[in-house]
Amino acid sequence: MSRGVSYEPLTPLSFIKRAAYVFREKTAVVYGDKKYSYTEFYQRINRLASALSRIGIGKGDKVAFVCPNIPPMLEAHYGVPMVGGVLVSVNIRLSVGEVTYILNHSDAKVVFVDTEFASVVDKARLTNVHTIVNICDEGAAKAFDGPEYEEFLQTGSPDPMPVVLEDELDNITINYTSGTTGLPKGVMYSHRGGYLNALGEALHGGMNTDSVYLWALPMFHCNGWCFTWAVTAIGGTHVCLRKVVPEEIYRLIEKESVSHISAAPTVLIGMSSYPKAKECNMKVKLNVMTAGAPPSPTVIKNMESIGASVTQTYGLTEVYGPHSICEWQRKWDSLDIDEKAKIKARQGVPYITSEFMTVVYPGESEIKEVPADGETMGEIVMRGNNVMLGYYKQPESSGEAFRGGWFHSGDLAVKHPDGYVEIKDRIKDIIISGGENISTVEVENLLYQHPDVQEVAVVAVPDPKWGEVPKAFVAPKPGTNPTAEDIINFCRERIARFKVPKAIEFGELPKTSTGKIMKFKLRDKEWQGMDKRVN
């Protein structure tokens, strides 16, 4: 269907057009001492689009950004698609090899590079890039030949660009997966999907024009769970943040009256263990949306005890970020804080805008739902407008992910009798010990209750008798010095013997750029030289 009196393609671009019209001098973006009104934000976006157009970027062309959560990264979410381009926002914590792979695989013609991250861009190895634009934030020098970002904007016009979108299913962004089990894959989002997920975020986040959103979540991660578009849709304020450290987060929460923040559980752990956390003067209720890994009830409880309200959502890059929400029910209000935190740790039910999600028996050729008994484990699968279009230039991988007409998440979960889904493990993380399934998430949640545990990961290690057994890697809280015996005894008193970790190792945990603990790294080390567990 093409554009007409009764039809207009759905696109997040309509959000900035409306916000610029309605909100004008209202603050759209805050970054340090800089503030852009919606009029200025829109003009900068139009300049970016127009400047890109002048260097030949048009429909279907890929434009990459290697940039932290600063205004140019936000502007890219509108300026690139405005000329029909596709935004590739690259994970800034990847290696030069990975970034090179992504820039080449995505066919990026232009790449914008923040000077701090210039070392991951190896210009000589880039095959399609004809222009590098330097983002010189905080007075940094240019890293490459080519224009500086603000100069580049000046080559464009601040006037609105004519709309070029014809089909709402056109590709708007490509987000590369972290590639923990192989080469990164390019997840393609559509304009329609971005539009709908953004409305879902605004609705489920309870956002309104007074909302102030702090950018603690990387925008390169699922386009910041589509909040890059949602905050603008509702006419709220974006607060940019170059470095995600608790001190700066709390400073901005106070200074900018932040109402909304999204973050992986690991960021929440950092926030709740920050010594001055309880001194923060929150002027409005802080709504925290967390996802990216199942947060332990303990982490949720700690965040709520400093005055935040935590909502867990669940999703993956392939489903535009959050796809389900642990929708709170009034009947749970009377539960005590521990019971509440336990419920909040569930992944919940589908978003209003993404209604198809269920749990099916894994590995079967036909899709068959598991019973909602809270016990039978199966794989979470999704379908609908908030499932990716596919992996860029990887039809086989897309076909495999879409087998049976559903997207397969690789997450193992149970469905409770009330229909709420709870993740027990990643398929590749679950431990099979003497024929028994052990959910590493369950053991981790227990360990988070130990007073000396800051962060923990449980993985399978080889065992001559049981095949594999659990081992816990523990980062202790600062100033504590727990022993392996402490930890093991703590577990013995609380869970079945076969689930108790057989070994404990103390130290920092390896993490992905989005804060997920990389269990495969811990596991690989343990299984070196063996013929299984190599993922």
The residues of the shown chain that bind its own copies, judged by CB under 8 A, are 1, 4-8, 10, 14-15, 17-18, 21-24, 26, 169, 190, 193, 199, 202-203, 206, 208-210, 233-235, 327-330, 349-350, 352-353, 355-356, 383-385, 387-390, 402, 405-407, 418-419
Task: Please state whether beta strands 186-190 and 390-391 pair in parallel, antiparallel, or not at all (unpaired).
Answer: antiparallel
Residue of 187, 126, 535 whose CA lies nearest to 392: 187
What is the C-alpha to C-alpha distance for residues 295 and 268, in angstroms, rounded to an integer?
9
Nearer to its own copies among residue 2 and residue 281 (C-beta): 2
Nearer to its own copies among residue 13 and residue 522 (C-beta): 13
Helices 38-54/13-23 angle, 10° precision: 140
Segments in 24-86 forming alpha helices (H):
38-54, 71-82
Ramachandran class of 225: left when φ > 0, alpha when ψ lies in -120 to 50, beta otherwise: left
For residue 105, the minimal CB distance to its own copies (Å) is 21
Nearer to its own copies among residue 150 and residue 364 (C-beta): 364
Nearer to its own copies among residue 198 and residue 299 (C-beta): 198
Nearer to its own copies among residue 92 and residue 414 (C-beta): 414
What is the C-alpha to C-alpha distance for residues 289 and 203, in angstroms, rounded to an integer?
13
For residue 504, the minimal CB distance to its own copies (Å) is 40
Residue of 409, 427, 425 whose CA lies nearest to 499: 425
Residue of 115, 42, 27, 129 whose CA lies nearest to 77: 42
For residue 181, the minimal CB distance to its own copies (Å) is 21
Nearer to its own copies among residue 22 and residue 337 (C-beta): 22
Nearer to its own copies among residue 135 and residue 161 (C-beta): 161
Nearer to its own copies among residue 327 and residue 463 (C-beta): 327
Task: Please state whether beta strands 237-239 and 27-31 pair in parallel, antiparallel, or not at all (unpaired).
Answer: parallel
Sequence-separated (6 or more) residues with CB below 8 Å from residue 17: 42, 160
Nearer to its own copies among residue 1 and residue 124 (C-beta): 1
For residue 11, the minimal CB distance to its own copies (Å) is 10
Nearer to its own copies among residue 254 and residue 327 (C-beta): 327
For residue 362, the minimal CB distance to its own copies (Å) is 18
Q: What DSSP letter does each residue of 147-194 carry, written as one string?
A: -BHHHHHHTS-SSPPPP----TTSEEEEEE---TTSS--EEEEEHHHH
Handedness of CA 114, 115, 119, 123 (dihedral sign): positive
Nearer to its own copies among residue 6 and residue 481 (C-beta): 6
DSSP 8-class letter at 110: E
Residue of 215, 174, 214 whose CA lies nearest to 194: 174
For residue 313, the minimal CB distance to its own copies (Å) is 14
CA trace torsion 441, 446, 449, 455 (10° rounding): -40
- Cβ contact 345:321 at 8 Å: no
What is the C-alpha to C-alpha distance for residues 21 and 43, in angstroms, rounded to an integer?
12
DSSP 8-class letter at 125: G
Helix (H, G, I), strand (E, B) or coil at 218: coil
- Cβ contact 353:196 at 8 Å: yes
For residue 87, the minimal CB distance to its own copies (Å) is 19
For residue 125, the minimal CB distance to its own copies (Å) is 33
Helix (H, G, I), strand (E, B) or coil at 121: coil
For residue 190, the minimal CB distance to its own copies (Å) is 7
What is the C-alpha to C-alpha distance for residues 319 and 375, in angstroms, rounded to an integer?
25
Nearer to its own copies among residue 116 and residue 170 (C-beta): 170
- Give me the half-sphere count of Cα atoms (radius 13 Å) on the Cβ side of residue 31: 20
Q: How many other CB atoms are found less than 10 A from the CB of residue 509?
A: 17
Please report where in the chains the tokens 């709908």 appear, as a residue. Answer: 196
Give the bridge partners for 280, in sequence order. none
Nearer to its own copies among residue 328 and residue 466 (C-beta): 328
DSSP 8-class letter at 140: P
